[in-house]
C-alpha cells in the first residue's frame, strides 16, 4: 500500500502500491493519462487503434471526474500475477456538511445504505450496482461502493463531504475488492487544518 495526500482538504489515504494515481486537480493530468496508457501498450506497436481508443476513453473519464469535483483517481492498471484487477477509486468532494443521519436519509432507497464508524469519523456507506437496467449484461454492470465522510470543520476550510467511490465489475473478485475499498476507507486520516 502507498499513501497519497492531496493538500487542499488535508487528508491522507492508503491505496495499493500497484495502482496508478491521477491528480485530477493538476493541469498536467492529461499528460499523466497519456503516459499511463503508453506504458500499458509498451511493446504492442500493432495496436494503434486500441491505444488511441483507450487514451480517448480515459481522458474523457478523467475530465468528467474533474468536472464533478474530483480530487484524485486511483486506477488498477498494472498486472498482479499476470492479471489486471478491475478496480478504480475516485476521491471527490461535495459541498456542504450534512451529518451522517442526514446523508443516510438522502441516500436511502438508492442501494444498500448504512452508517459506519471510521477512524476519520462517522460516515455513510452505500453499495449499489450501476448499469443494471433491463437486458443489461455483465459487461455493462459495475459494483460501486461509496463512503461519504463529512470533513471536520476548520477555519478557512469550506464545508464539504469527502466521497471515496470504489468501482469494480461483477464476478469472483467483486467481494474481495469491496472489502479492499472498505479497508481503504478505514485508512482515511485528516491532516493539517481538516484535522482540527
Q: What is the predicted pLDDT for the residue at 8?
A: 56
- Mean pLDDT, range 164-182, rounded to an integer: 93
Q: Outline where 137-196 has alpha helix (H).
A: 174-186
SS3 content of the chain, % helix, strand, coil (to 5): 30, 35, 35
Q: What is the predicted pLDDT for the residue at 5?
A: 39
Q: Is the predicted pLDDT of residue 87 greater than 60, yes or no?
A: yes
- Mean pLDDT, range 34-41, rounded to an integer: 79
| pLDDT, averaged across the chain | 83
Q: Is the predicted pLDDT of residue 172 greater than 70, yes or no?
A: yes
Q: Is the predicted pLDDT of residue 175 greater than 50, yes or no?
A: yes
Q: How confident is the model at residue 100 (pLDDT cuts 50, 70, 90)?
A: confident
Is 12 within 8 Å of 20 (Cβ atoms)? no
- Could you give the domains of the chain? 11-23+71-195 (3.40.1000.10)
CA 12 from centroid of its chain's CA atoms: 14
Amino acid at each position: 500500500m502507498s499513501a497519497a495526500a492531496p493538500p487542499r482538504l488535508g487528508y491522507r489515504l492508503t491505496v495499493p502500491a500497484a495502482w496508478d494515481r491521477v491528480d485530477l486537480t493538476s493541469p498536467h493530468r492529461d499528460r499523466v493519462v497519456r503516459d499511463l496508457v503508453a506504458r500499458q501498450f509498451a511493446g504492442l506497436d500493432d495496436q494503434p487503434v486500441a491505444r488511441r481508443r483507450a487514451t480517448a476513453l480515459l481522458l474523457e473519464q478523467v475530465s468528467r471526474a474533474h468536472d464533478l469535483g474530483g480530487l484524485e483517481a486511483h486506477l488498477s492498471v498494472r498486472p498482479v500475477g499476470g492479471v489486471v484487477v478491475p478496480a478504480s477509486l475516485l476521491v471527490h468532494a461535495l459541498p456542504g456538511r450534512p451529518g451522517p443521519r442526514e446523508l443516510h436519509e438522502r441516500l436511502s432507497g438508492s442501494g444498500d445504505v448504512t452508517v459506519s464508524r471510521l477512524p476519520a469519523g462517522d460516515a455513510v456507506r452505500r453499495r449499489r450496482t450501476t448499469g443494471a437496467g433491463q437486458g443489461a449484461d455483465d459487461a455493462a454492470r459495475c459494483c460501486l461502493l461509496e463512503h461519504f465522510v463529512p470533513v471536520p470543520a476548520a477555519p478557512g476550510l469550506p464545508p464539504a463531504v469527502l466521497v471515496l467511490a470504489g468501482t469494480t465489475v461483477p464476478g469472483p473478485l467483486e467481494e474481495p475488492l469491496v472489502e479492499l475499498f472498505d479497508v481503504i476507507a478505514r485508512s482515511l486520516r485528516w491532516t493539517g487544518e481538516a484535522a482540527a
